[in-house]
């Protein structure tokens, strides 16, 4: 595989086989993000769990103290006072049955987060096959099915992220942009890692955090030595 000039230059600045402490790793990932655009910084965590087992799933949400750097477009499906509260909280799109129908008829997916009140979940089943594969289907576990839709909207706008184990037992999650700088990115990193550690399933045995890697959109992966 051939790599670009900037990527090769970044590789020369770090030892990709070495494990760095979180602060040094973050400094390196920022320094090696050499693209002309504001690269995203992502955290990749391999866990010592079996994702095939229901009692070893790792999933949750956390509000990053410095946000993600991404402007989040929020859709709220609710009625009455909850719809009014969602609008007041800053939701971009608010509606009920008409929005559900638009998703079905027009394949409307112009939003990043979908939040709904529990009383609307009976109708949300009609769009589960459309929203589910896109990761947009509301669920109580992610806090997107809630009576307090206003708080959910504010959290989403503030930088709430969902971390979730994939089929290979790895969590992939954005923690900000290069422009945040090392200090703010490290705060986000620590907040997310603390949440992942606390989410350790009771059924998990042996080493829980197997490996941690930080990487920018176009840069090399930097190994992190994370001690619990």
The pLDDT tens digits for 64-87 are 999 999 899 999 999 999 999 999
Sequence-separated (6 or more) residues with CB below 8 Å from residue 28: 13, 14, 20, 222
The answer to whether 77 touches 169, Cβ cutoff 8 Å, is: no
Query: What does the pLDDT average to over 169-194?
Result: 96
Q: What does the DSSP assignment read for 75-120?
A: EEE--HHHHHHHHHHT-SEEESHHHHHHHHHH-----SEEEE-GGG
- Residue 146: how many other CB atoms lie within 10 Å: 20
The pLDDT tens digits for 184-203 are 999 999 999 999 999 999 99
Higher-pLDDT residue of 159, 106: 106
Whole-model pTM: value is: 0.81
pLDDT for the residue numbered 6: 60
Is the backbone of residue 19 left (phi > 0), alpha (psi -120 to 50) or beta?
Answer: beta
Place of tokens 């206003």: 150
φ, ψ dihedrals at 3, nearest 5°: -110, 155
Mean of all residue pLDDT scores within the chain: 91
pLDDT for the residue numbered 226: 78
pLDDT band with cut points at 50, 70 and 90 for residue 15: low
């Amino acid at each position: 595989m051939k790599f670009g000039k900037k990527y090769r230059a970044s590789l020369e600045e770090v030892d990709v086989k070495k494990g760095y402490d979180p602060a040094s790793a973050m400094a390196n990932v920022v320094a090696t993000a050499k693209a002309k655009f504001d690269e995203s910084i992502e955290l990749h965590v391999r866990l010592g769990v079996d994702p095939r087992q229901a009692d070893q799933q790792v999933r949750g949400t956390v509000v990053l103290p410095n946000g993600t750097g991404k402007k989040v477009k929020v859709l709220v499906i609710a009625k009455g006072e909850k719809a009014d509260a969602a609008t007041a909280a800053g939701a971009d799109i608010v509606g009920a049955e008409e929005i559900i129908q638009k998703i079905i008829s027009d394949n409307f997916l112009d939003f990043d987060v979908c939040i709904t009140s529990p009383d609307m979940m009976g109708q949300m089943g009609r769009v589960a096959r459309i929203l589910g594969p896109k990761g947009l289907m509301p669920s109580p576990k992610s806090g997107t099915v809630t009576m307090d839709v206003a708080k959910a909207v504010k959290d989403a706008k503030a930088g709430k992220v969902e971390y979730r184990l994939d089929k290979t037992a790895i969590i992939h999650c954005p923690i900000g942009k290069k422009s945040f700088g090392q200090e703010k990115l490290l705060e986000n990193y620590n907040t997310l890692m603390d949440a992942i550690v606390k989410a350790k399933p009771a059924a998990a045995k042996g080493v829980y955090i197997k490996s941690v890697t930080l990487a920018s959109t176009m840069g090399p992966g930097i190994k992190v030595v994370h001690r619990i």
